[in-house]
Structures are given as C-alpha cells and as structure tokens.
Chain A
Amino acid sequence: MDLKSGYRQAMEALYLACIVVSGVALIVITLIIPLGVFMRYVVNSPLSWPEPAAVLMMVMFSFLGGAAVYRAHVHIAVEALVKAVDPKTRRIFLGAADACMVVICLFMVGYGAQLCRALWHQSIAEFPGLSVGLTYLPIPLGGLFTLLFIVERLWIGAPPPTSVMFRDQPSAAE
C-alpha cells in the first residue's frame, strides 16, 4: 500500500469515527433528556445529570461532526462567484479559501488547547471527576481533524464516490 492510499484509508476511518461518536452522542442525548422528564414527573425523583451530560455531548458532536461535515463537503458556502469566474481565477480563489481554512483550523487547535489547559483543574459540579477542560477537548480535536481532511483533499483529491461518506442514503426499496 502506497503512502497516499494509506492516508486515504486513515481518513476514511477518521471520518467514520467522527460520525459514529457524534451519532452515538446524539442518540444518547435523545434518550437521557426524556429520561429526565420521566424521572421528574412520573417517578418524582428529578435527576440533575441529564442536562449537563447532554450539553457535554453536544459540544462533542458539534465539533467532531463539524470536521466530518467538512470532508463530506456539506458546509454551507457561497459558490456563485467561484462558479462564475474563469478557471484560473477559480483556482486562485479556492487556493486562498484552503489557506484560510488552514488558519482557522490552527486557531481551533492552538487556542482550543489553551482553553482546555486553562480549565483543566476545574471540575464540573454534577460530575466532580470530570475536568471542565476535557469538555472543550472536541474544539482542538475538531480543528486537528479538519486540518487532516484538508491535507487529504489537497494532497490526494476529493474522496471517491465509493467513500463511506456517501453510504448514508436510504435503501432503494424504501
């Protein structure tokens, strides 16, 4: 296996990991919030943890899912001007956009890590064993993963139609 196909496979696995972690987080949140309502009204024993746990998982799926969304090319972008200009100008525009993406990802990695470090020794009231810094870890991770996906696109090209990214359509029989 050459270096390029190895990197492509690693990015496929990384994409899948981002989607699985985000998806599991979404399902868990969907279950624990109604559980909180049930415990409050039916069992009459309100739980304090579903709400903060849901918020922690939301930060996770926002930034890890956000990285996957970049690879899947689903982020909203204004492409009218890019499509209207000649191919040479388009290449310049898209190159500049990629450079800007690298800058914002580096910002997420650098300042996100700094935020985690600053809050590392504070703990969450509902989860005393859990560091506040850890809850913001998805920000630098999301930045790093997006950076890796940018490298993949610039080095190897856009993921092929056989990519795991496109296996999310409903069954044909539906």
Chain B
Amino acid sequence: MEVLVLLGSFAVLCAIGMPVAYALGLAAIFAALYVEIPLEAVMLKISDGTDDFALLAIPFFVLAGAIMAEGGMAMRLINLAKVFVAFIRGGLALVNILASTLFGCISGSSVADTASIGSVMIPQMAKQGYPKVFATNVTICGSVQALMIPPSHNAVIYSLAAGGTISVAHLFLAGVFPGLIFALSLTGLVLWTAHRRGYPKEKAVPLRDVPRIVLDAFWGLITIVIIMGGILSGVFTATESAAVACVYAFLVTVFIYRDYKWRDLPKLVHRVVKTVAMVMMLIGFSVGFGYMMAIMQIPAKATAFFLTLTSDKYVLLLLINILLLVLGTFMDLAPMLLICTPILLPVVVKFGVDPVHFGMIMILNLGIGLITPPVGPTLFVGCAIGKVTMEEVSKELWPFYGAMCLALLIVTYVPAVSLWLPSLLKF
C-alpha cells in the first residue's frame, strides 16, 4: 500500500498536469505522511539534492554547449562534415548525421543539436530536393547521438541518480561507441533510402578549401580535448573541466570566431538559467522522492518482482528496454533517469549487468523517447524548425525507429560496445 501511495500519487499528480519536479516532491510528502516519517527529513533530503559539488557539471556543460551552438560552431561543423561525406548519394543527409556526431562532442543536448544543426541543414536539404519530412527526421534522429557522445550532462545526471558511485569519466568514455553505432545505423538507413529515392550527391569540397575548414572547426573541437584530456589525466574533476570548457568556449566564440555579439550574452544566460534551474529542481525533489523509495525498499521490491518474471539476464534487459521505451514516450529524459535509475539499477546489478553499461542502455533508450509522441521535446523542436506537422513526421519515422532500435539492441546485448573504452582506464 505504501508503494502505491508514493508511485500512485506521483502518477496521478503527473497525469493532472503538475510539473514533474513538484509532483516528485509532493508524492514524497504524501508517502512520508503515510509512513509517519517527519517532513523535516524530506526537506533535508531535498536541500541535500542541490548542494552537491558534482552537480555543477550540469550547468557548465549546458552553458558551454549553448555558447558554442550560438557562437557559430554548428555552421563550422557542418562545413567540416561536408568535406567527408557530401559527395556521396544522399550527401546532405549524411552531412546532417555527421555534423550531429561532431556537435555531440560539444553539446550533450539533442534539443540544442536539433535547433542548431536543423536550422541550417533542413532548409539546405529542402532546397536540394529532399522532402522536408525526411530532412526533419534525419535531424531529430541524428541529434540523439549527442546524449551519448561525451560530454553528456545526462551521464552526470545518471551518475548522480545512481548515488554518485559511478565514475563520470567511465560514463563519458562508455558513450563513445554507442554514439558511433547509433550514427552508423542511421547512416545505413539514409544510404539505402537515398539510393532507393535517388537523392542527389553534392559537389566535393575543393581540396584547397579543406585546410581552412578543418582549422575553423578545430578550435571548437578542442573543447572535447580539454574536457576529456583534463578528466582522464586527473588534472580536473568533471565539474572543473566543464567550467574550464565554458571559459574556453567563450574565448573561442568571442575572440576567434567573432560571430557572437556581447549584447546577446544576457539572453543566452537567461535561456541557460531556465534550462538548468528546471533540471536542478528536478534533481532536488527527486532526491526527496528517492529517499522515500529507499525507506519503502522499492528497489528491493522491484528486484523481487523482476525475479518472479525471469531469471535470465537477456530477457530482463529486453523487458526493461520495452518498459523504458513505453515510459519514455510520456516523459522527458532527465526525470526518467532520476526516477528509474534508483529502481532499476539494483535489479540489473543483481543480474550481473555493469552499471556503466546500463547507463548507456538507459540514456539511448530514453533518448529515443525524446522523438516519440505524445511527449517528445526534440520532435517538437524539429517540427517547428522543419515547418512540418507532427503527424507528417510521425508517419515516416518508422524506418528510423527501426534503425535506432537496432542500435539499442547492439548496445544492450554487446556490453563491450560500452565497456571496452572505460576498461582501458587504470582508475
């Protein structure tokens, strides 16, 4: 009954349209009243939830990504991607995917990726004869890579939701190959579609232009070297590397690219504050919610429940994937990570799944949820930029869902895809 009070009241509060962050807090209060836990304890946990130094990596990564995205980085990465793939049939669609891969090295947000890459690529693709719906689908699906490719602030959220016991450096490294496999599966689909529908090739970029284009993109791509190099060498913590990346991103966009206008800085900070404060409130209240889940032994009960369904690790992972795909259609990535990780992680660990590997499964799975109706923030942004309706896009998304689910299956059932790179770390 007590589990029903916590999870049931949360579901009802969400269903009536209450913001998820506050619904987590209120459900925790209802549960605390039911099991007679002092409300002071819940308040203490909520305050604990927002005063962890490791949390600061989230606003820094969001800020660095926003500075780069608005400072002209997206255009430079698209130009770099054109050097490598524009001359192939369906070249602009492939450029779109590769630019998202590169953009993922700077921003961990699929919405930011869709807004930055999509606003350049969708009109270009439409001009070259690609249907707008196809261009939008390539953009929104390609943007999901950003969630896995380091630096991903979602990896930081997962680490925190797991109790801060999982190294952010391991999670960052673990995301590299899942991100690339995701990109490859989309690339395969795009190549097949381009040949079937006869989409155009672009002119190859003249060799004399290549050094300038590479150098232009180089300054931005150094950000990932600062972040990963700093963390892996032990010079920085993840939080410090993210802060240094913010300062570097600002210097590059203002003094090297010179695309950024000082007068736009307050607007940029305004937008970042809105994004970050929303996530931080979610985290704060989810810690209170997680505290009540722990008191009610929900993770242990979830483990016992799954053990009644199966004793096979692979069947369990399939069940969890289906569950997350369904839940992901209704809720955004960050709250799902914060709510589901404390419940599901103990279950999969009991079955012998590595927590780092499970992090990649969750992020990829819930990332797909960002482009599924009825709640798909990336889908909404893509439709707005592509000037197409959600119905038009949804009808043609099925082959893309197939390609993404193939990548999800590979990431789920081949743990080495996620775990090989982190295994090279000596700490």
Task: Give residues in A with beta carbon < 8 Å to B.
Answer: 19, 22-23, 26-27, 29-31, 33-34, 36-37, 41, 51, 54-56, 58-59, 61-66, 68-70, 72, 74-83, 93-94, 96-97, 100-101, 103-104, 107, 111-112, 114-115, 135-136, 139, 167-171, 174
Assess the B243–A171 pair: CB atoms within 8 A.
no
Answer whether A30 and B243 are a contact pair too, CB < 8 Å, given A58-B280, A62-B50, A174-B70: yes
- CB pair B22 A36 closer than 8 Å: no
Q: How far is the CA of A135 from the CA of B48 in the complex (A)?
A: 12
B274 cross-chain contacts in A, Cβ below 8 A: 19, 65, 68-69, 72, 74, 168
Question: Does B334 lie within 8 Å of A174, measured CB to CB?
Answer: no
Complex contact B243–A115 (CB within 8 A): no
Residue contact A34 to B240, C-beta cutoff 8 Å: yes
- One of B26, B247, B280 near A31 (C-beta < 8 A): B247
Instruction: Using known A-B contacts A23-B269, A65-B273, A68-B273, determine if residue A112 contacts B43 with beta carbons closer than 8 Å.
Output: yes
Q: Select A80's contact among B50, B332, B375, beta carbons within 8 Å.
A: B375
CB distance from B154 to the nearest CB of A (A): 14
Min CB distance A143 to B, Å, is 10
Q: Which B residues are in CB contact (< 8 Å) with A62? A: 50, 277, 280-281, 284
Within 8 A of A (CB), among B201-249: 235-236, 239-240, 243-244, 246-247
Residues from chain B with a CB closer than 8 A to the CB of A22 are: 273, 277
For residue B22, which residues in chain A have a CB less than 8 angstroms away from its CB?
Answer: 75, 100-101, 104
Cβ B281 vs Cβ A66 within 8 A? yes
- List 9 interface pairs A-B (beta carbons < 8 Å), by A numbering: A19-B274, A26-B63, A33-B60, A37-B244, A54-B56, A62-B50, A63-B284, A76-B19, A78-B375
- Considering only residues 273-329 of chain B, those with a C-beta below 8 Å from chain A are 273-278, 280-282, 284
| Residues of chain B in range 236-268 having any CB-CB distance to chain A below 8 Å | 236, 239-240, 243-244, 246-247, 259, 261, 263-264, 266-268
Which of B20, B259, B284 has a CB less than 8 Å from the CB of A77?
Answer: B20
Which residues in A have their C-beta under 8 angstroms from that of B13? 97, 100
Measured CB to CB, the nearest residue on chain B to A57 is B56
A104 to B28, CA, bound (A): 10
CB distance from B236 to the nearest CB of A (A): 6
Please state if B278 and A75 are interface contacts (CB–CB under 8 Å).
yes
CB distance from A45 to the nearest CB of B (A): 16
Residues of B within 8 A of A65 (CB): 273-274, 276-277, 280
18 additional A-B pairs beyond A58-B56, A69-B277, A81-B17, beta carbons within 8 Å, are A23-B273, A26-B63, A26-B272, A29-B56, A33-B239, A37-B240, A58-B50, A58-B51, A66-B277, A76-B282, A80-B330, A82-B17, A94-B16, A100-B26, A107-B25, A114-B43, A139-B43, A170-B70
Nearest-neighbor residue (CB-CB) of A146 within chain B: B22
Provide the residues of chain A in CB contact with B282, threshold 8 Å.
Answer: 76
Q: Does B15 contact A (CB under 8 A)?
A: yes
A82 to chain B: which residues have CB within 8 Å? 15-17
B331 lies within 8 A of chain A by Cβ: yes
A64 to B16, CA, bound (A): 25
Interface string of B5-27 (1 = CB under 8 A from A): 00000000111111111110110
For B152-192 the 0/1 string (1 means CB < 8 A from A) is 00000000000000000000000000000000000000000
B280 touches A66 (CB 8 A): yes
Complex CA gap A27/B331 in Å reads 30
Let me know if A36 and B59 touch, CB within 8 A: no
Asked if B198 is at the interface (CB within 8 A of a chain A CB), the reply is no
- The answer to whether the Cβ of B426 comes within 8 Å of any Cβ in the partner chain is no
Closest chain A residue to B15, Cβ basis: A81
Chain B 70-83 near chain A by CB (<8 Å), digits 1 or 0: 10000000000000
Interfacial chain B residues near A75, Cβ < 8 Å = 19-22, 278, 281
Q: How far is the CB of B187 from chain A (nearest CB, A)?
A: 30
Cα of A168 to Cα of B18 in the assembled complex, Å:
25
B19 lies within 8 A of A77 (CB) = yes
* Closest CB in chain B relative to A138 CB, distance in Å: 9
Q: CA–CA, A22 to B322, complex, Å?
A: 39
Q: Is there contact, CB below 8 Å, between B17 and A94? A: yes
Decide: A96 and B16 in contact? CB cutoff 8 A. yes
A59 to B272, CA, bound (A): 16
- Decide: A33 near B243, CB < 8 A? Known: A78-B20, A82-B16: yes
Question: How far, in angstroms, from A100 to B25 measured CA to CA in the complex?
Answer: 10
The smallest beta-carbon distance between B77 and chain A, in angstroms, is 17
Residues of B within 8 Å of A70, CB to CB, are 19
Are B39 and A97 within 8 A (Cβ)? no
